[in-house]
Amino acid sequence: MLTFLLVVHLLVTLGMVTSILLQRSEGGGLVSSAASFMTARGSANFLTRMTAIFAALFIFLSLVLAIMAGGHSKKSSIVNRIEAPLEQTAPTKQ
């Protein structure tokens, strides 16, 4: 199950990065308006929605994976790990 979720998380991450890079920025972005299959406004709305969906899935999967990874540790206290101090002896003089 964990491996499957990691693969899905990787695919969501790649999709999010791709949708961010395809968005038009002030510098022109990777998509030119003549090469797009929709109008500039339509593609901007579509890419914005896709980025939001990928971001929500990314956060959700990150939380699920963090919860699943944290369940393998056994609950203990650091106080239980402290050993009784050894008998101290006086330092020898030379």
Task: Quote the mean pLDDT of the chain.
Answer: 79
Residue 93 binned pLDDT confidence (cut-offs 50, 70, 90) = confident
Give me the pLDDT at residue 71, please: 65
How far apart are the C-alpha atoms of 8 and 63, rounded to whole Å? Answer: 13
Is the pLDDT reported for residue 2 higher than 70? yes
Give me the pLDDT at residue 73, please: 61
Rounded to the nearest 5 percent, the helix, strand and coil shares of the chain are: 60, 0, 40
Mean pLDDT to the nearest integer, 35-54: 75
pTM: 0.60
Is the pLDDT reported for residue 67 higher than 70? yes
